[in-house]
Amino acid sequence: MSERSGGFGAFLFGIVLGAVAGFVFAPTESGESTRRKVTKGLRNLKELAEDKVDEVRGLLKEAEADAAESEDDADDEEPEITTREQLRRRLEAARRRRARARPPVPPVSEEEDEPLA
């Protein structure tokens, strides 16, 4: 089944590629303007990609600085709570809330259980 979906994806990619090639190499005047538009769009896309790469680099540098700073502070802090411990605490808190929300059940005496004659 994966071979069929891969073949279908390649088929769709071929259709898109053919349509783009048709627009770019069209022999009419509109083909020339289309080529200009595509070239301009690609330049804008390249500039946008470069801006995003610079932004990601800045974020990575900030993350590295924060990690280095937190390593220095890690000796002073408590160890991190594991996911299992977090889940256990959340479960206990939910059980306590549930117990508070339930109305108290009155005690049943043995006298009430017997039928009256």
Q: Note whether 45 and 51 are within 8 A (CB).
A: no
State mean pLDDT over 107-115.
60
Integer Cα distance of 8 and 34 in angstroms: 28
State mean pLDDT over 5-32.
77
State mean pLDDT over 3-9.
65
Q: Is the pLDDT of residue 48 over 80?
A: yes
Integer Cα distance of 20 and 37 in angstroms: 12
Q: Is the pLDDT of residue 45 over 80?
A: yes
Of 21, 24, 3, the closest CA to residue 13 belongs to 21
Mean pLDDT, the chain, whole residue set: 78
State mean pLDDT over 77-100.
84
Helix (H) or strand (E) holding 44: helix 29-73
pLDDT given at position 2:
47
Integer Cα distance of 55 and 50 in angstroms: 9
